[in-house]
Structure 1
Amino acid sequence: MSTLLEARGLRLAFGGVKAADGIDLSVAKGEFLAIIGPNGAGKTTFINMTTGYLRPQGGQILYDGADITGRRPREIVRRGIARSFQLPQLFSEHTVEENAALAIAARDGIWSPLRPLLRPAWREEARELLDRFGLLPIADRRADALNEGTRKLADIAMAVALRPRVLLMDEPTSGVAASEKMAVVETLARVLRGAGVTAVFVEHDMDVVERFADRVAVWAQGRIAALGSPAQVLADPEVQRNVIGIGRPGRAGVEGPAHA
């Protein structure tokens, strides 16, 4: 498969801390790439650089062969790269349908919080999108009344409304109840693969990584310490010791808040 997203020698330091220390990474079209690693390893920094929220001090980011290094977030979105955050970015006072309509309006260059709600075409598209995510039955529910798993799905549905070719997700299962995690990720995988969206996601649950990733990249101190299939990477003794954790029952992964 051809490369769609590529990082070449990315470098960024905050004081004496190297958040990116020569990152080289290629992501193939249609691939699901998981990024794992301990807190503070630079995982979220990579997403922020790729989506324009941080500017690298060295190196390049290429998207479909074009240099997008340092471009503004809105320009990167227009080119076809979207993202979701650890904490869902929803308009709490609006319904799920209205949130989706607002995202569709933003894609079309309308940033008013009121005008999108008056256009039937956007509402129709919003409901079709929510149906793909299994959210249509709660389309009229306010965002602040949703549980965390549903909020995550609604947040990522808003990102998909932008019609990205690449979606970067920062801990899509963070805060989601253990009983809901697999259902949430199964929905995401079904929708994204069905739409042909390439996905890069930071994840701390190794069961999710093993089940849904095509490849896994391990971050450590701003570098990629390992890269390969889930079976290869998760069997690596160094990864088991430093990322998964020694002495934990099973392979549940490193849970808890991630300041990556």
Structure 2
Amino acid sequence: MSAPILSVRDLGKRFGSMIAARDITVSVPAQQTVGVIGSNGAGKTTFINMITGHLRPTTGTVHFEERDITGLPSRRITAMGISRSFQVAQIFPSLTVFENTCAAAAIGRAPNNFMGHVLTPLRSRESIEEAETLLELFEIARYRNRLAATLPQGVRKLLDIGMAVAGSPRLLLLDEPTSGVSIEEKFKLMQVVMSALRNRKITVLFVEHDMEIVERFAERVLAFYDGTVIADGTPAATLADARVQALISGPKVKGAVTHV
């Protein structure tokens, strides 16, 4: 069996006397899509932040492709092949959609140092080609000349995730990708996102509160409560778990959407 792309062991985080995460041990194989659920304050974002270097763990280790990345700076971790998107889209509002993707592609190709980022041209042949590919892959090419500030929320999300993919990560962490998106748009948005990420063969962990989205698009679900994982399995198994229903999701509704 091949080594997991991500392996965390006994991971924990304290802020003074407050325990934000504890005893998290998880291994994720390459190209798996993992949903991460839990109520507010359950430890989901702390878990993501420790993997991506935005928080240094108090205890435990994080390995990516068998390399120990525990506590490394976020910029270095990104350069190694882990990217993320945030709940609020991180885009350049005064630039067009095409200019945003060009900038992300250029930054993704830049050497991992300050001068490398400064001196990398934003419109090299390579960054333009990557930007064009991302516009098509995320189905936002028709918005290419629109200022990012004028985009509908769903398109802003697609642009943000597309920009996170520009550096060719092997692991992508999404923080509530459907947050703020209308009920009518959210399934289409996730279908576009997951199709694009499968195309790039990217391993995905996505934090999500919408159980229908989790059930439909995740292959595996991690359920967090009180800073640790209380269930880990297929969507059907995790969402049927008595503790998960009591503490996170509520009783499963008959006729709920099945995984596709």
Using structure 1 for the length normalisation, give the TM-score: 0.91
Q: Is the 8 A contact 1:244 1:251 kept in 2?
A: no
User: How far 1:112 sits from its partner (Å)?
Assistant: 4.6
Give the ranges of 4+ consecutive aligned residues of structure 1 lying more than 6 Å apart after TM superposition: 247-252
SS at match of 1:168: strand
Q: Which amino acid aligns with 2:205?
A: V
Match of 2:215 in 1: 210
Match of 2:113 in 1: none
Cα displacement string for residues 142-179 of structure 1 (whole angstroms, at most 9, x for unaligned residues): 11111111111100000110100000011111111111
Q: Which amino acid aligns with 1:119?
A: S
Match of 1:82 in 2: 83
Q: Is the 8 A contact 1:84 1:156 kept in 2?
A: yes
Correspondence for 1:223 among 228, 231, 254:
228
How far apart are the structure 1 equivalents of 2:119 and 2:231?
44
Cα displacement string for residues 37-73 of structure 1 (whole angstroms, at most 9, x for unaligned residues): 0100110011111001000011100001110001111
User: How far 1:11 sits from its partner (Å)?
Assistant: 1.1
Correspondence for 1:173 among 175, 178, 183:
178
**Which ranges in structure 2 are unaligned for 5 or more consecutive residues?**
111-115
Distance of aligned partners of 1:66 and 1:227 in 2 relative to their CA distance in 1, 3 Å threshold: same
Correspondence for 1:186 among 180, 191, 205:
191
Q: Is the 8 A contact 1:103 1:161 kept in 2?
A: yes
Count of residue pairs brought into register by the alignment: 251
Using structure 2 for the length normalisation, give the TM-score: 0.91
Q: Is the 8 A contact 2:107 2:120 kept in 1?
A: no
Match of 1:130 in 2: 135
How far apart are the structure 2 equivalents of 1:143 and 1:248?
38
How far apart are the structure 1 equivalents of 2:81 and 2:252?
42
User: How far 1:15 sits from its partner (Å)?
Assistant: 2.6
User: How far 1:245 sits from its partner (Å)?
Assistant: 2.8
Distance of aligned partners of 1:98 and 1:114 in 2 relative to their CA distance in 1, 3 Å threshold: farther
Q: How does 1:43-62 map to 2 (within 5 A)?
A: 43-62=44-63
RMSD: 2.0
Q: How does 1:67-106 map to 2 (within 5 A)?
A: 67-106=68-107
Cα displacement string for residues 172-215 of structure 1 (whole angstroms, at most 9, x for unaligned residues): 11111111000010011101111110000101011111111111
**Which ranges in structure 1 are unaligned for 5 or more consecutive residues?**
253-260
Q: Is the 8 A contact 2:240 2:252 kept in 1?
A: no
SS at match of 2:56: coil
Identity of aligned residues (%): 44
How far apart are the structure 1 equivalents of 2:95 and 2:228?
41
SS at match of 1:102: helix
